[in-house]
Amino acid sequence: MKLSMPLTYFGNPRETADQVVGLENAGLDQIWVAEPYGFDAVSLLGYLAAKTETVELGAGILNIYSRTPGALLQTAAGLDNVSGGRAIIGLGASGPQVIEGFHGVPYDKPLSRTREIIGLLRAGLRGERLESDGLYKLPLPADQGTGLGKPLKLLNRPERADVPLWVAALGAKNVTMTAEVADGWLPFLFHPEKAAQVWGEALAAGRAKRSPDLRPLEIAAGGLLAVTDDADQARAYLDQMRGVYALYVGGMGARGKNFYNDLAVSYGFEAEAKEIQDLYLDGRKRDAEAKVPLAWLEAANLVGPESYVKERIAAYAEAGVTSLQVTPAFGTDAPAAIAQVKGWIS
C-alpha cells in the first residue's frame, strides 16, 4: 500500500506546497492537488515537480469539461516530462455547480465524455492522431469550420506512453466504467466497511470487461489522520471534518441532484442525509454539521489511539485501497505523522 496525501487548495497553496519536500523525505509516495474553482491544479503541480524528486504528482481532479481532450493531452505529457515520469492524471465530471456555475459550460454526458477522453489521451500519448468517432469527432463538418481541422498528433515525444489515468467516480455506472478503462479510482468520503455493499457489483462488472493490457485497478482513499490517546481530542479532530461532510452532502447540488447526498443514503444514513441537506440549503450550516453521523466520521477517518488507527488502515486495505490517502490533522507534526504511518504500511 502506498501513502498519499491531498494538498489543500485554500488560502495560498504555495505555502502548503513548500512543505511537500519534508513530506517526501518522510516517505510520502503521492501528493494529490485538487482543482475545484480556485487556483488551477496544473500550475501548482509544475511547481511541485521542480521542488521534489520522488513523490508522484496527482491531479485530483481535472474536470472533463473546461479543457479539450487536446489540452488534457498536453497537460498529461507536459507534467510527466517536467516531473521525470511522476505524473498521475485524475479526471472527473465534477458537478453541475462547478461546471455550469464557474466554467459556464453545459454539464452533459459525463460518462460518455470521460470514456472518450481516456481513449483519446491513451492514443495521443502513444503518438497517434487525435481522431474520434464520438462527442469529439474530428474534423469539423464543413459548415462548422474552415475545412482545415485535420486530426493532429502531439508535437513532442511523451516521457511515458502510459501516464496513469485515474477517475473520480461515485455512481454505479461511472464506477463500472472506471474499473473497465482507468488505471485508478478516486472515491470520496469513503467508508471501508460499506464499500463492497455500495460499489462491489459495479467494480466487478467493470473488471470483467477490463483489458488484460491494463495494470490492476488502483484505489486511493482515506481521511483525516491523528494518532492520540485523548478521547476528547480525538472527538475534536473528527468534529473538524463535519464542515466538509456537510458541505458535500448538503450543499453540493440541489435537492434530488446531489451525488454525495446519494452516497450518504447508500451508506444507510438516509434520514441524516435529508436533514443535512435541508438544514444546509436553508442556510443553517452549523446545524447541518451537527447532523453528520459520528459513525461515518469514525469509520472514514484515521483518528484515535495507535491500535485504532492501525485497525482503520487494515479496513482500508481489506476494502481494496492501494494508496492510503491521509490528511494530518491541523496542528500536528505532518512529516512525523507521515513517517509513522509509512512505517506501519511498509
87 within some domain: yes
> 10-24 pLDDT, tens per residue?
678 788 888 999 999
Residue 199 lies in domain:
2-226+302-345
User: Quick one: how many helices (H) and strands (E) in the chain?
Assistant: 16, 9
Residue 177 — φ and ψ, nearest 5°?
-60, -40
244 within some domain: no
CATH number at residue 331: 3.20.20.30
Largest interatomic CA distance in the chain: 69
pLDDT at 254: 83
- In the chain, how many domains are there? 1
322 within some domain: yes
Which H or E run includes 165? strand 165-168
Query: Are the beta carbons of 29 and 3 closer than 8 angstroms?
Result: yes
Cβ burial of 106 (10 Å; 0-12, 13-18, 19+) is: exposed
pLDDT at 9: 65
When pLDDT is cut at 50, 70 and 90, the band that residue 142 belongs to is: low
pLDDT at 155: 96
235 within some domain: no
In whole angstroms, give the CA distance from residue 242 to residue 20: 26
> 169-187 pLDDT, tens per residue?
999 999 999 999 999 999 9
The residue among 138, 144, 135 whose CA lies nearest residue 105 is 135
The residue among 284, 189, 297 whose CA lies nearest residue 242 is 297
273 within some domain: no
pLDDT at 224: 98
pLDDT at 141: 65
pLDDT at 140: 64
193 within some domain: yes
DSSP 206-263: HHHT--TTSPPPEEEEEEEEEE-S-HHHHHHHHHHTHHHHHIIIIISSBTTB-HHHHH
In whole angstroms, give the CA distance from residue 337 to residue 329: 9
297 within some domain: no
The residue among 199, 238, 172, 221 whose CA lies nearest residue 324 is 221
34 within some domain: yes
The residue among 9, 8, 11, 82 whose CA lies nearest residue 52 is 82
> 264-315 pLDDT, tens per residue?
999 999 999 999 999 999 999 999 999 999 999 999 999 999 999 999 999 9
Which single residue is written with the C-alpha cell 481494496?
320
When pLDDT is cut at 50, 70 and 90, the band that residue 108 belongs to is: very high
Whole-Å CA distances, 4 to 12, 167, 180, 224, 342: 21, 16, 23, 12, 10
Query: Are the beta carbons of 55 and 85 closer than 8 angstroms?
Result: no
In whole angstroms, give the CA distance from residue 94 to residue 308: 33
Give the total residue count for the chain: 346
Report residue 138 as a C-alpha cell: 474530428
